Copies of this chain bind each other. A is one copy, B any other.
Amino acid sequence: MEIEDVSAPPSLGRQLVLSAAAAKDIAARLLEPHGLSLAQWAVLSSLWMNGPLSIKAIARLTGNAPPAASRIVDRMITGGLVLRQEDTSDRRAVVISLTDTGEAMRPLATLYEEVNAILLDGLDTEAERALFATLERVTGNARTWLAASPPDRRQTSR
């Protein structure tokens, strides 16, 4: 997506969204030959690092809400990457585990290192460190503010 900033505001949010989109594009490009989407890779990554997981755990680790995780897992079952089994100790829950096909893709677990290298090309160690630290600060600021300004539930008084 080419974007010429003819008349758009100098917004940090915009810059963050552009940078994040660029990172996603790189990951998607690297995953394309393997027939994986980034969302699917994130689920596989969670399973590679943690073993079999519930939908709730997958949702938490991938940063999605449970409905999204549930559907992504659906497609991965269709694609033969994972299995869905009952949790014998809690019949509400399910256990998602890797198939041999999903396990065989484990070498892709270090994908993020390739993406890092591409994004950070030409930056010195100090700039890298500062970038991570500042991004964490920014994310923390956002979370603090969001927690202090709860969504308008249309019941200010009651």
A residues with CB within 8 A of B? 1-4, 6-27, 29, 32-33, 45-46, 49-50, 60-61, 63-65, 109, 112, 115-116, 118-123, 127, 130-132, 134-139, 141-143, 145-146, 149, 151-152
Contact = CB atoms under 8 A, between A and B. Distances in A.
B120 A12 contact: yes
Copies in the complex: 2
A141 B119 contact: yes
B132 A15 contact: yes
Counting from the closest, the 9 A-B pairs by CB-CB distance are: A22-B142, A11-B112, A13-B23, A20-B20, A16-B20, A7-B49, A17-B20, A3-B63, A13-B115
A70 to B, nearest CB: 15
A63 B24 CA distance: 14
Dominant SS among interface residues on chain A: helix
A25 B151 CA distance: 10
Contacts of A8: 45-46, 49, 61
B130 A142 contact: no
Given A130-B134, A131-B134, 12 more contacts: A12-B23, A12-B131, A13-B26, A13-B115, A15-B136, A18-B63, A22-B142, A26-B142, A29-B149, A120-B138, A122-B141, A130-B130
